[in-house]
Amino acid sequence: MTPPNQLPEWVDIVDSDGQVIRAVPRSVMRQHRLPHRAVYVLVFDSHGRLLIHQRTLTKDVYPGYWDVCVGGVPQAGESFDEAALRETAEEIGVAVAPTPLFHLRYQDEQTDVFGAVYRLHHDGPFHFQVEEIVQGEFVPVDHLPRLIQERPFCPDGLFVWREYLRRACDTPSESG
């Protein structure tokens, strides 16, 4: 439900090929699990460690879960690249355009996403958006399997991570 005096956030709904067919309020998209677009940004530091963060308990999906990506749902009419830049600026306070990597499709009981995956190299400092992120930390990528067993992680983010590894994208220790 939209708070009083605040307009609903509109998002694009896509067809089975990922093409935009209409826009609806975000609440409608969530309520009906409509297929939509999302951006996922993997953030690495100069040592090749991955930034992970814990989501706030007020998130509409996977509240309190940990995530390996920053990002979110593009606004209606917003490109993937624009959304990736906006989301990294909002969530971690870094206004640097991430590098596009690949597109993917992800579906589970809560969401149906056509996503664009990006990579960003940045050592911080970060300014976590308090409405989105409780805490964050860089972790060596070889520690992720253990952390995934110990903490709840967003399944779409884990899907992105596995696809990143499967595609053998450039090593995370590149400078940039």
Instruction: Supply the pLDDT for residue 5.
Output: 56
Query: What is the average per-residue pLDDT within 15-32?
Result: 95
Q: Domain segments of the chain: what residues?
A: 10-166
pLDDT more than 90, % of the chain = 89
CATH architecture of 10-166: Alpha-Beta Complex (3.90)
Using one digit for the tens of pLDDT, what is the confidence trace for 138-153? 999 999 999 999 999 9
Instruction: Supply the pLDDT for residue 4.
Output: 52
Instruction: Supply the pLDDT for residue 6.
Output: 66
Q: What is the DSSP string of the chain?
A: -PPTT-PPPEEEEE-TTS-EEEEEEHHHHHHHT--EEEEEEEEE-TTSPEEEEEEPTT-SSSTT-EES-EEEPPPTT--HHHHHHHHHHHHHS---PPEEEEEEEEE-SS-EEEEEEEEEE--------TTTEEEEEEE-GGGHHHHHHHS-B-HHHHHHHHHHHHTTPSPTT---
